[in-house]
Structure 1
Amino acid sequence: MKTFLIYRDRDFDLQRKLPVNEKALTQDLELNTLFNAMALGDKFLFEVARKVVLSSMSDLDAILYRQSILKDCLKNSLIVKDMYNIAVESIEIEKKHYLSFFSFKYPSSILHRSIGLLQLFVGILKKLRGIADSHADKFESEGFIRFFAMLQKELTDEYFLHIQEHLKELKFREGVLISGELGKGNKGLHYLLHKVQDKKQSWIERLFNRKTPDYTVYIHERDEAGARALGELKDRGINTVANALAQSADHVLDFFTMLRTELAFYVGCLNLQETLVQKGEPIAFPLPVAANARKSSFKGLYDVCLSLTIEGKVVGNDVNADDKDLVMITGANQGGKSIFLRAIGLSQLMMQCGMFAPAEAFCANVCNGLFTHYKREEDTSMKSGKLDEELRRMSDIIDNISENSMILFNESFAATNEREGSEIARQIIYALLEKHIKVFFVTHLYELAHGLYEQRLESATFLRAERQADGSRTFKLTEGEPLQTSFGKDLYNRIFSNAG
């Protein structure tokens, strides 16, 4: 049985490798804040959220497939959490059952464990089938429709009855019937387990039934060696059956493990959604478009990680950067530029893993890779300067970035003088645009920003953080020409006026 609740055609691999830049993305976008909100202290939920979000997809159909499943989860959250808890219960039962035995090297102990485990699994599978029977009609997504249809087709009443009959028979309450042959040196060969004859025969059937000759050997109750030899004969006879039953138990356990893993992502999304709804923050399912298109339009876009760390609501932004390859962001210090940039990166990742977006509306083209180039603290070992470190990271990005990717720059190349930093940044931007890579760039380098503005590039748009006449910040971004000042004096006045 397969779940197919993350991908349409394959299982989700929790051991898959993450992108080479996952550490930079996690640091620059503060992704651990997002993962913690999805996990609510559960380490397994955290790991699944981390792997799914960072393994973003660029296939539109795959994104929409997962979106539709998540929409079902939001409408039926209690049912989804119930199924998740059932999967967790099955795995916990297996762990306890495993620890109740000290050794499984003997076929008889393997058989005994497998029978007990499968009996418990049958009860849990019946719970899942019951959910399918009672609630399948509440789900509309392709993924859940197929999942519930699979449960109802595979887990029929006849199937459960058949399983119970086999498990009862494999307990061998009527004894074990084994045949074998003698080889060289009277060594036993070709042991074969047989079905025990049905003793529910009439006396006439028993009287006229042809019997094969048999011999009876009695072992003294104190004959330990004889009892051990008899046990070894029994183990050889049931070895094949024990292994087959153990494999069956493992297959059922694998199903529950995959169900838990794939539902864990949606449970994490439900946890996040509940937190945001309680705060009154909007969420919307984004509209993804092809990678070779250029779409970046949204309403009320906010930084979800900032929202998760403060009590109040976060100011959202409305921007239309459709048909643009370059978005330059300038303006007042502490005006919300870096927060906006992080919101862009977070919403892009969330869209491409099939999640909702932190916005009232969101539409963007998918990208083949998301990269960040943020300023870092100076190298304390003094092995290199900040500019060398920035250029080295930029070189690593170039080695891995491809056409139709996206890169976010935050105050990059400001470690040198403005003219040199602007020239480095300008050349890098032009090279990226030539390779059809989407660029968002937050900068205080006026020479860079204004120089690009004067080029009147059709594929570029310029956003500026608002500043009120009294120096206060609205944290809103609007289209506008870069200004020569970032109004650092506002911060100076505010800090020292408060200190006084």
Structure 2
Amino acid sequence: MKVLLLYENRDFDLKAPLPWNEKELMQDLELNILLNAMAGSDEFLLEVAMKTILTGITNDLDTIIYRQGIIQDCLKNPSVIRLLYDITEGALESRKIGWFGVFSKYPSSILSDAIGLMEIFSDILKQLRQVADEHVNKFQSDGFNRFFTMLQKELSDTYFEEINTNLESLKFRDGILISYEMGNGNKGIHPRLHQYHGKRKSWWQRLFAKKEHIYTFNIHPRDVGGARALSELTNEGINLVANALAQSNDHILHFFKLLKTELAFYIGCLNLHEQLAKMQAPVCIPEPITHMERKHAFKDLYDPCLALKMGKRIIGNEINVLNKNLVIITGANQGGKSTFLRSIGVAQLMMQSGMFVPAENFQANLCNSLFTHFKREEDTTMNSGKLDEELSRMSDIAGQITGDSLLLFNESFAATNEREGSEIARQIVTALQEKNLKVFYVTHLYQFAHNFYNNNKEDKAIFLRAERQTDTTRTFKLKVAEPLQTSYGKDVYYKVFEET
């Protein structure tokens, strides 16, 4: 049985490696807030959410659309999804309690425990089949339609009848019928287990029935060696069937593990959606666009991590960036530029993992890798200067860049003077543009921003500015506007000293 709720044609690999810049993405985009909202206090949900989101940066448009359909089914039927997850968790917990055969070297013990576990698994599979029968008509996605149809087809009444019949026969209530061939020295070889076809007799029939003419012998109760030999013969005879049943249990167990893992991602999505809904923060199913195009268009896009941290809905932005590879963001200090940059990165990760995104509507082209280069605090160990550290990180990124990457810069290369920082930024961004890479750059380097503004003759860049009203109020909105020579840092200065 195949789960296939995250990929249409393959299983999800929880052991797949995280991207090399996982720590930078987590720190710069504050993803720990988002992931904790998805997981709550469940470490397994946290692991699955992190792995799914951080490994979702691919150009696999079909997989994104496939997951989007499943997400929409989940949002419409959250109780059914949680029920499936609870049933699956119960199966795995039952395995921990009831399966000790793996620790035994005796086939008889393995068989006994395997029978008990298969009976438990059979009951749980019946619960899954019942959920499929009751709720299949509520789901429209290809993923869940295939999944429920598979459950109904493979977990038929005939299937469960065969399980019960075979398990009952493996309990050997009428004894074990084994044949041996005679080898050298009359040693038994090639044991073969046979199914007993005789009718089970009542105690009355066994007591008064006519004795059959067969050769038998009984082991004396004190014959320890004979009992041991008989036990060895029995174990040899049932060894193959014990291993076969144990492998069947492993197959079903593998199915439950995969089902729990793939459902865990959608449980995390439901948890996040519920928290955002409480704040009346909008979400939407985004429209992913092929990586060959260049587009970022959205309405009321916001940073969900900041909203979750503050516990309330925050101001979003509305932008339409078409056929451009460079977005330079300037404007007032504390005007929402860094928050906007994080919202771009988080939305891209959420979209490419097949999730909803924090906006009223959202369109963006796919990228095959996401890089962040945010300013850092001074190196307290004094191993290197701040500019050296920034250049070192940029060198690492340059070594990993592939075509159709998305890069987010936040006040990069501002650790030196205006002229030098602007020239470093100009050369790096120019090189990235020549490789057709997409760049969002938040900066206070006026020479850098204005240089690109003056040379934007081919209209390949767009310039956004954080709004500041005449009374110094920040609206936290960004609009298309020419870079200014000031970032109004004095507003922050006056605010701090007036409040003190």
Q: TM-score, normalised by structure 2?
A: 0.96
> For residue 205 of structure 1, what is the aligned residue in structure 2?
none
For residues 376 and 104 of structure 1, the distance between their equivalents in structure 2, rounded to whole angstroms, comes to 56
- State the match for 1:273 in structure 2: 273
Matched residue SS, 2:103: coil
Distance across 2 between alignment mates of 1:442 and 1:104: 63
Contact residue 302 and residue 343 of structure 2 kept, 8 A:
yes
**CA–CA distance in 2 between the matches of 1:388 and 1:292?**
35
Instruction: Give the equivalent residue in structure 1 for 2:204.
Output: none
Correspondence 1:7-46 to 2 at 5 A:
7-46=7-46
The answer (yes or no) to whether the contact 2:99–2:114 under 8 Å persists in 1 is no
Shift of 1:16: 0.6
Deviation (angstroms), 1:102: 8.6
Structure 2 residue 48 is the aligned partner of structure 1 residue 73: no
Counterpart position of 1:332: 332
SS in 1 for 2:422: helix
Q: What's the RMSD between the two structures over aligned residues?
A: 1.7
Bigger Cα displacement from structure 2, 336-345 vs 25-34 = 25-34
Report whether the alignment pairs 1:116 with 2:113.
no
Aligned counterpart, 1:388: 388
- Counterpart code for 1:324: K
Whether the 8 Å contact between 2:297 and 2:362 is mirrored in structure 1 is yes
Q: 1:213 to 1:431 in 2, by over 3 A?
A: farther
Partner of 2:430: 430
Distance in 1 (CA, whole Å) between partners of 2:450 and 2:128 is 62
- Asked if the contact 1:331–1:466 (Cα under 8 Å) also holds between the matched residues in 2, the reply is yes
Q: Distance in 2 between matches of 1:438 and 1:374?
A: 16
Aligned ranges 1:200-211 → 2 under 5 Å: none
Aligned equivalent of 1:86: 87
d(CA) in 1 for partners of 2:393 and 2:215? 82
Q: Which position in structure 2 is the counterpart of 1:420?
A: 420
Q: Using the alignment, how far apart are the partners of 2:13 and 2:73 within structure 1?
A: 23
Q: Could you list the per-position Cα deviations for residues 169-225 of structure 1 after superposition, in whole angstroms to 9, with x for gaps in the alignment?
A: 001111111111232344331111111132269xxxxxxxxx998532212223333
Task: Look up the SS of the partner of 1:321 in the other structure.
Answer: strand
1:56-455 equivalent positions in 2, closer than 5 A: 56=56, 57-98=58-99, 103-199=103-199, 214-455=214-455
Q: Does 1:488 align with 2:476?
A: no
1:375 alignment partner AA: K
How far did 1:497 drift?
A: 0.7
Instruction: State the TM-score, normalizing by the size of structure 1.
Output: 0.96
Amino acid paired to 2:120: L
CA contact (8 A) 1:69 1:141 kept: yes
* 1-structure distance, mates of 2:260, 2:460: 45
User: Does the CA contact (< 8 Å) of 1:373 and 1:408 recur in 2?
Assistant: yes
2:46 maps to a residue whose letter is F
Do the aligned partners of residues 77 and 311 (structure 1) sit closer, same or farther apart at CA in structure 2, a change above 3 Å counting? same
Contact 1:372 1:409 in 2 (8 A): yes
Are the counterparts in 2 of residues 90 and 121 from structure 1 also a CA contact under 8 Å? yes
Find the aligned partners of 1:253 and 1:212 in 2 and give their Cα distance. Answer: 45
Task: Note the alpha carbon deviations across 1:14-57, whole angstroms, 9 max, x for none.
Answer: 00111111111111111111110000110000000001001113
Residues 247-274 of structure 1: CA deviation (Å, up to 9, x unaligned): 0011111111111110100010000000
Give, in angstroms, the shift of residue 156 of structure 1: 0.7
Q: C-alpha distance in 2, partners of 1:426/1:111?
A: 71
Q: In 2, Cα distance between the equivalents of 1:146 and 1:260? A: 17
Partner secondary structure for residue 99 of structure 2: helix
Q: Which amino acid aligns with 1:13?
A: D
The match for 1:497 is 498
Percent identity between the two aligned chains: 59
Question: Judging changes above 3 Å, is the alpha-carbon distance between structure 1 residues 335 and 200 closer, same or farther for their aligned structure 2 residues?
Answer: same
Distance (whole Å) between structure 2 residues aligned to residue 442 and residue 11 of structure 1: 39
Supply the AA of the counterpart residue of 1:443. T
Is this contact kept in 1: 2:102–2:110, CA < 8 A? no
Partner secondary structure for residue 4 of structure 1: coil
In structure 2, what is the Cα distance between the partners aligned to 1:132 and 1:113?
Answer: 29
Deviations 1:216-245 (A, max 9, x none): 221222333322221111111000000000
One-letter amino acid matched to 2:190:
H
Tell me the distance in 2 between the aligned counterparts of 1:423 and 1:102. 66
Structure 1 residue 481 displacement after superposition = 0.8
Distance 1:213 1:494 in 2: 107
Q: 1:302 touches 1:343 (CA, 8 Å); kept in 2?
A: yes
Gapped regions of structure 1 (runs ≥ 5): 202-210
**Which residue is equivalent to 1:206?**
none
Letter in 2 for 1:65: Y
- Once residues 36 and 52 of structure 2 are traced to their aligned partners in structure 1, the CA distance between those partners, rounded to angstroms, is 14
Q: Following the alignment from structure 1 to structure 2, what is the Cα–Cα distance between the partners of residues 397 and 323?
A: 24
Provide the rounded CA distance (Å) in 2 between the counterparts of 1:412 and 1:310.
Answer: 27
Aligned residue for 2:307, secondary structure, equals helix
- Paired positions, count: 491
Q: Secondary structure at the match of 2:476?
A: strand
| SS at structure 2 position matched to 1:236 | helix
Please state how far the C-alpha of 1:403 moved relative to its aligned partner. 1.1
The answer to whether the 8 Å contact 1:103/1:109 transfers is no
- Separation (CA, whole Å) in 2 of partners of 1:102 and 1:19: 36
CA distance, structure 2, for counterparts of residue 220 and residue 24 of structure 1: 74
